Amino acid sequence: MADSPGAGQRLALGLAYRGRAYHGWQSQPDGRTVQDHLEAALSAFADQPVVTVCAGRTDAGVHALNQVVHLDTALDRDPFAWVRGTNRYLPADIAVQWCRPVAGTFHARNSARGRRYRHLVLESPVRPALESGAVGWTFRPLDGQAMRAAAAALIGEHDFSSFRAAACQSPTPVKTLRKIEVSRRGAYWRFDFDGNAFLHHMVRNIVGSLLAVGCGRMPPGWMAEVLAARSRDAAAPTFGAEGLYFLGPYYDADHAIPDHVPAHDWLP
């Protein structure tokens, strides 16, 4: 394939992946991360090294529907050629969904106005089988009304130190949660989060505490006490990564970044 070098441009890509086989997003020496696989595929397609910046780092086992990354390149290729060409070199559980040229000032992480996550949890006496790795699991019956009452205490700008992992690298524990929705479809609970940014393990730690309320082990008012304690020891244990999905970031409309991909229609 012939390429004509250009003056350079910034591209944004949307990426979907099943995280179970990977050690999270961020590059590691063993190469078993989503970033390592993506950058290797992009570099193979471009025939030169390519470095990416993502909107939100995901932990080992966490899935993504529309992870957004940006990269800089001097190659002049059709945007959809980046999609098809890169996917040729990616494993089956990682796929680029779209590609868009963006302004040089666009930054996948810093330009994001917010991020959305969804945690799916199966309530059943029997562990998941077909959905293994795709949903969390609890064998205890849950009270949705109690969990919604507990979640309400977390809405707004707060110090979320009680839900922060020890290894978190964020310069501040103060984040803004705009929405937590708790809903149920059959045996599956859905916990939807919308916030400006999230601390390491923040969603999983909140879900663990919501489940402690939902099963009746703690009262709804306990959540406000946990938040006020600003101590990780005050909250419930971290819930597993199974069933956690990074739905993607969202941006100001002038960036024209897609916020919906087919996987959003697939996910319950």
Please list the active-site residues: 59
Distances in Å between the Cα of 258 and the Cα atoms of 13, 68, 175, 247 are: 10, 9, 24, 12
Q: What are phi and psi of 14, to 5 degrees?
A: -105, 130
Please provide the DSSP assignment of 23-65 as one string: S-SS--TT--SHHHHHHHHHHHHHTS----EESS---TT-EEE
DSSP states of 180-247? EEEEEETTEEEEEEEES---TTHHHHHHHHHHHHHTTSS-TTHHHHHHHHT-GGGSPPPPPSTTEEEE
Structure tokens that stand for 176 in this block? 């803004």
DSSP conformation letters of 135-150: BEEE-S---HHHHHHH
103 residue type, one letter: A
Q: Are 9 and 73 in contact (CB under 8 A)?
A: yes
Question: ∠ at Cα 230 (226, 231), nearest 5°?
Answer: 85
